[in-house]
Amino acid sequence: MIAPSLLSADFARLADEVQRIADADWVHVDVMDAHFVPNLTLGLPVVQAIQAVSPVPLDCHLMIEHPERWAPGYAEAGARNVTVHAEACTDPRAVARDLKAAGALAGLAIKPGTPLDTWLDVLPEFDTLLVMTVEPGFGGQSFMPEVLPKVREARRLVEAGHLQLFLEVDGGINADTIEQAAEAGADVFVAGSAVYGADDPARAIAALRAQAARAR
Ligand code: DX5
Ligand code: ZN
């Protein structure tokens, strides 16, 4: 699946910007609170407004503190997938249960320096594992191939039947990097600048999707 990130879209024209990626699988919405990450983007009222007009299901990536308090609201707003950061959670199992009770898929994200092992025991509660391939906070950064062993390990656990998860990669995904990520076992690819920076976002989505499918 290809999930274009609205972080690289024109924030003054979000309704038009989601129409430009109508053939994407998910639309990735980066929620940043200026505490968990240095940057500040948008919150629930804007997500509700996007949800009301988007032809594509929402994939909300919450880079915020206290996700247990705020995350369920995004599920209640109708997001298909809501991802919280492991580093910000005091009780990830409870967050996963609340998200699923509100009708969303539950995602757990880990930063580049966060080991996978620490979170293996809670992952059975989740539907999505988001492996950050840049430090969270900003679009347009360079892909970090050194995190791919975590994707490979998660894919191995899924193949062995120990986990059932979408494996999402986020950060620096473009025509030069998507094949490595797909080969490592990712199946959901967030792409901000590679889609919204392209002259034709629909063509960029199709090209990335074909590249990933070939590499897998
Ligand atoms: C970074 C965000 C990403 C970002 C990706 O903290 O989580 O979703 O939008 O942008 P690109 O694809 O430009 O690296
Ligand atoms: Zn993101």
Q: In this predicted structure, what is the pLDDT of residue 190? A: 99
pTM: 0.98
Ligand 1 pocket test target in 59, 190, 195, 208 with most atoms within 8 Å of CB? 190
Asked if residue 173 has its Cβ within 6 Å of ligand 1, the reply is yes
**CA-proximal residue: ligand 1, atom 7 (nearest):** 136
Among the listed residues 3, 5, 4, 64, the one whose alpha carbon sits nearest the alpha carbon of residue 31: 64
Q: Name the residue type at position 181.
A: A
- Nearest ligand to the C-alpha atom of residue 111: 1
Each residue of 120-165: pLDDT tens digit? 999 999 999 999 999 999 999 999 999 999 999 999 999 999 999 9
**Which atom, in ligand 1's list, is nearest to the CA of 197?**
13
Taking a C-beta distance cutoff of 8 angstroms, is the pair 1, 206 a contact? no
How far is residue 61 CA from its own chain's centroid? Answer: 5
Each residue of 53-108: pLDDT tens digit? 999 999 999 999 999 999 999 999 999 999 999 999 999 999 999 999 999 999 99
- Residue written as token pair 């990097």: 177
Strand, helix or coil for residue 153: helix
How far is residue 204 CA from its own chain's centroid? Answer: 18
Q: Find the 176 Cα to ligand 2 centroid distance in Å.
A: 19
In the residue annotation, 170 being an active-site residue is answered as yes
